[in-house]
Structure 1
Amino acid sequence: MKIGVVGLGSMGFGIATSLLRSGHDVYGADVNAEAVERLRAMGGSKVDPKSAAAELNALVVVVLNSDQTEEVLFGDRGLVSELAPGAVVIMCVTVAPDYARSVAYRCATRGLHFLDAPISGGSVKAANGRLSIMASGAPQAFAAARPALDAMAEKVFELGDSAGAGSAMKAVNQMLAGIHIAAMAEAITFGITQGISPETFLEVIPVCAGTSWMLENRAPHVVEGDYTPRSAIDIWPKDLGIVLDVARKSKFAAPITAAVLQQFIAAAGMGLGREDDAAVAKVYARTAGLKLPRQEMPETADRETGWRP
């Protein structure tokens, strides 16, 4: 297949390389020219998706939010007007279900298939073609997208024949994922106040009932003091904001999610927005006057408080 991939961040770049390994012709686009050149050096097409749009069988959209999706698909240089009827748009962005339904309707008016197909699994699984995809759309859309999905994902959940169901499931997933990251941060810093080193926390908790996938994946970042962004703090005010908007429209109270959102907003306010989302632990550490591994003590902290390496 000839497949355009718009958005070559940590997830999108992994998707693009997985498609390349499966033998597809991949046309990449991103505001970061370096990412585009890196993909081309690995075998991606030298032609951008806009120029090749009429020949594409599929367009995978892996940008940040609905505003960027709108620009990519329907803006002044939007690709939907250039795609040939019968092509499939695979939207992997975390958006509200109502927005996914809107995109599906507008694609259908131009004779295009559409899959509401948010993704989960992180950058490593994206690069290995082992994502989980929560997808919904017409059977014809699944059929048109199948070769791309097979290259991208270890598991494709088919959640219904109309758009919106995939995004609804992603909202549920993001609610849990955000809560679990913040819970890890709260627990590891609480442990420090009790004289438990982060290393000991990481040795014990993953084999106890209090563990979670997010704890096991993110706690090592805190222990190593490595906040290189695999998934950035800035993602969570957006994603949890979507969750709470959907909940509000459904008249559903989500107090735990609301509290967690405030911790991520606080982290962004501390200037941590581009750091790994495990850096939300720094919010707890700062409040308690604690030192995390490889982190300087806050100037206002009690130097006799907390764990010492």
Structure 2
Amino acid sequence: MNVGFIGLGRMGAGMAANLLKAGHDVTVYNRTPGKDEELVQMGARSAAEVAEACDGEIVVTMLADDHAVESLVYGDQRVLASLAKGAIHVSSSTISVAFAERLTADHAAAGQRFVAAPVFGRPEAAADGKLFVVAAGESEAVTTATPFFDAVGQKTFVVSETPKAANLVKLSGNFLIASVIESLGEAIALVSKGGVDRHQYLDMLTSTLFGAPVYKTYGGLIVDRKFEPAGFAAPLGQKDIRLVLAAAEELRVPLPIASLLRDRFLSLLAHGGDNLDWSALGSLAARDAGEAAN
């Protein structure tokens, strides 16, 4: 399959590498020069402009937010203007439900197809091809894009023929992860201040009631207080909570915990957390309890 890949951050670089390992022809583009060097050595073609990555069956965007996607999709020599009729734009970015709806309509008007396929997993999972893909779009387009899903993920969940549904599912999942991070941080702060070793406490939790990977991964980061380098930066977590609240408002679904998380993320960022992993949210309870960061 001839694939264009736009966005070579920690997630995108791993995904593009796995496309190459699976034998696909891959053209890569990144706004920051030089990030494609390793992929080019693996056999990728480097695109100097967005349009050069849009001459295949599929172009994938893996970018930070609505603004980043919009800047590379709309305009002269961008995705919408360059993609052939019938070709597919697969968005693996975590974007708003409203923007996914706009992309669906605009690609349809141009005779193109749009599939939303955000992913669950941190950069290590992206590098190992172990992401979980949440896909939504017209069934034939999803089928055409399946080799991409298979190359980057261990399992794909097709949730709807309406692309924005995948973005809603992704945002709901990130809301749940942030909820786990916050509650873990609070529980760990409580027992730690009460004299219980936090590492021993986490081992007990994850060996009994809470053995899911999310508790092991984020619990480990919280007890080790290892928030750098960021696998998923705190401002992106704050963005996702803002987007889930926007979706909830549109659907008239109260999310009181999400409102709390919005304020907790703002507190983290106000105290200089911009470069930290979003798991640093779990450090706020210890700080509020007057525990030293050690």
Give the alignment's TM-score, normalised by structure 1. Answer: 0.89
Q: Match of 2:187, as an amino acid?
A: A
Query: Counterparts of 1:1-309 in structure 2 under 5 Å?
Result: 1-48=1-48, 50-53=50-53, 55-210=55-210, 212-227=212-227, 228-293=229-294
* Distance across 2 between alignment mates of 1:83 and 1:48: 16
Q: Are the counterparts in 1 of residues 28 and 53 from structure 2 also a CA contact under 8 Å?
A: no
Q: Are the counterparts in 2 of residues 17 and 127 from structure 1 also a CA contact under 8 Å?
A: yes
* Distance across 1 between alignment mates of 2:127 and 2:97: 27
* Distance across 2 between alignment mates of 1:111 and 1:164: 18
Corresponding position of 1:296? none
- 1:11 Cα offset (Å): 1.2
Aligned CA distance change for structure 1 residues 77 and 270 (closer, same or farther; 3 Å): farther
Q: Are the counterparts in 1 of residues 138 and 162 from structure 2 also a CA contact under 8 Å?
A: yes
Q: Are the counterparts in 2 of residues 100 and 167 from structure 1 also a CA contact under 8 Å?
A: yes
Q: Are the counterparts in 2 of residues 27 and 48 from structure 1 also a CA contact under 8 Å?
A: no
Unpaired stretches in structure 2, ≥5 consecutive residues: none
The 3-state SS of whatever aligns with 2:156 is strand
Q: Percent identity?
A: 26
* Distance across 1 between alignment mates of 2:64 and 2:145: 21
* Distance across 2 between alignment mates of 1:32 and 1:283: 33
Q: Match of 2:258, as an amino acid?
A: T
* Distance across 1 between alignment mates of 2:203 and 2:154: 29
- 1:106 Cα offset (Å): 0.8
Aligned CA distance change for structure 1 residues 260 and 147 (closer, same or farther; 3 Å): same
- Per-residue CA distance 1:106-151 (angstroms, 9 max, x = gap): 1112221210111112212211222111111112211321221221
Aligned CA distance change for structure 1 residues 54 and 292 (closer, same or farther; 3 Å): closer
- Per-residue CA distance 1:157-211 (angstroms, 9 max, x = gap): 1112222111121122122111111112112112211111221122211123255
* CA RMSD after TM alignment: 1.8
- 1:90 Cα offset (Å): 0.4
Q: Are the counterparts in 2 of residues 138 and 161 from structure 1 also a CA contact under 8 Å?
A: yes
The 3-state SS of whatever aligns with 2:27 is strand
- 1:51 Cα offset (Å): 4.7
Q: Are the counterparts in 1 of residues 234 and 275 from structure 2 also a CA contact under 8 Å?
A: yes
Q: Match of 1:159, as an amino acid?
A: V
Aligned CA distance change for structure 1 residues 198 and 34 (closer, same or farther; 3 Å): farther
Aligned CA distance change for structure 1 residues 178 and 222 (closer, same or farther; 3 Å): closer
* Distance across 2 between alignment mates of 1:79 and 1:127: 25
* Distance across 2 between alignment mates of 1:292 and 1:281: 12
Compare 45-54 and 87-96 and name the one that shifted more: 45-54
The 3-state SS of whatever aligns with 1:260 is helix
Q: Match of 1:261, as an amino acid?
A: R
* Distance across 1 between alignment mates of 2:106 and 2:199: 52
* Distance across 2 between alignment mates of 1:105 and 1:183: 39
Q: Match of 1:24, as an amino acid?
A: H
Q: Are the counterparts in 1 of residues 60 and 92 from structure 2 also a CA contact under 8 Å?
A: yes
Compare 218-227 and 89-98 and name the one that shifted more: 218-227
Q: Match of 2:95, as an amino acid?
A: V
Q: Match of 2:183, as an amino acid?
A: A
* Distance across 2 between alignment mates of 1:104 and 1:145: 16
* Displacement over 6 Å in runs of 4+: none
- Per-residue CA distance 1:195-240 (angstroms, 9 max, x = gap): 1122112221112325543221012223333222111111111000
Q: Match of 2:31, as an amino acid?
A: V
The 3-state SS of whatever aligns with 1:157 is strand
Q: Are the counterparts in 2 of residues 120 and 133 from structure 1 also a CA contact under 8 Å?
A: yes
Q: Match of 1:57, as an amino acid?
A: E
Aligned CA distance change for structure 1 residues 108 and 117 (closer, same or farther; 3 Å): same
Compare 169-178 and 74-83 and name the one that shifted more: 74-83
Aligned CA distance change for structure 1 residues 77 and 275 (closer, same or farther; 3 Å): farther
